[in-house]
């Protein structure tokens, strides 16, 4: 749909403008606060970016619904809903690590049709429109062809309440780690999914996620030929993603 292409182009323009601001502010002092735990950060740029994006959407697409990490839901009458994480990987951003991004997913009548993940410090733009494939900086991408677990490099993450519950992903790690070639923990669910989409990683899983963490990345991965299992649980989303050769093999070790 031409409208989807226009919405994606607008989202890219706004994300890149916001990303430039993030890069500029990362060089100086920054206000950083904790949310649910001592390491669950929100920076002033999380708030600024979210406000910047929601104002752009309201001005250009009045009536569109929005779901955001920092300020919650914005109601509207439209069939379109924007799902926004202003900085996925806030801890990385606050500490000067380059692995963070702006993630924007757009749903139409409840189905995700547009995904954009922009990593300012890396200079990488992952994007997808449903049914049209996925790309990185304008080049088509595809998930890897690795088919053996012992050759696979897989990413994961851990919930903020990891020290207060046994449901902290460590049991999954203990089961899967001896079977695979390598394990990575990089701190951004959206970018982890995109690394699987472009074949740098072979798989990824995590527990207790929110939809703004993965909304865009899941579409990008699916459009790149990968497979995704997502289960809604009481404390958040369980997401397991991989190339088509490894998906069922990984799932056998970490099924919830």
Where is the binding site for Mg(2+), in residues? 69, 85, 87-88, 213
**Residues of the chain by 3-state class (helix, strand, coil), percent to 5:** 35, 30, 35
CB atoms within 10 A of CB 228: 18
Report CA dihedral (103, 65, 18, 130) to the nearest 10 degrees.
40
Can you spell out the DSSP letters for 100-133? -EEEEEEEETTEEEEEEEEETTTTEEEEEETTS-
Q: Any idea which residue has 């139409």 for tokens?
A: 108
Distance CA 126, CA 90 (A): 19
Annotated binding residues, written as ranges, equal: 69, 85, 87-88, 213
Cα diameter, the chain: 52
């Amino acid at each position: 749909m031409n409208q989807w292409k226009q919405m994606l182009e607008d989202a890219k323009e706004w994300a890149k403008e916001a990303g430039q601001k993030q890069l500029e502010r990362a060089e100086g002092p920054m206000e950083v606060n904790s949310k649910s735990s001592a390491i669950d950060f929100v920076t002033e740029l999380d708030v600024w970016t979210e406000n910047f994006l929601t104002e752009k959407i309201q001005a250009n697409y009045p009536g569109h619904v929005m779901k955001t990490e920092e300020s919650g839901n914005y109601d509207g009458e439209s069939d379109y809903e924007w799902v926004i994480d202003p900085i996925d990987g806030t801890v990385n951003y606050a500490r000067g690590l380059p692995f963070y991004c702006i993630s924007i997913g757009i749903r139409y009548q409840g189905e995700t049709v547009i995904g954009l993940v922009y990593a300012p410090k890396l200079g990488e733009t992952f994007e997808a429109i449903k049914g049209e494939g996925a790309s990185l900086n304008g080049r088509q991408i595809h998930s890897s062809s690795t088919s053996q677990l012992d050759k696979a490099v897989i990413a994961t993450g851990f919930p903020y309440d990891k020290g207060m519950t046994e449901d902290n992903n460590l049991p999954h790690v203990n089961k899967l780690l001896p079977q695979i070639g390598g394990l990575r923990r990089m701190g951004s669910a959206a970018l982890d999914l995109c690394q699987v989409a472009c074949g740098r990683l072979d798989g990824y899983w995590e527990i207790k996620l929110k939809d703004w963490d993965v909304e865009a990345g899941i579409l990008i991965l699916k459009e790149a030929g990968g497979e995704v299992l997502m289960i809604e649980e009481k404390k958040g989303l369980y997401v397991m993603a991989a190339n088509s050769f490894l998906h069922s093999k990984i799932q056998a070790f970490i099924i919830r």
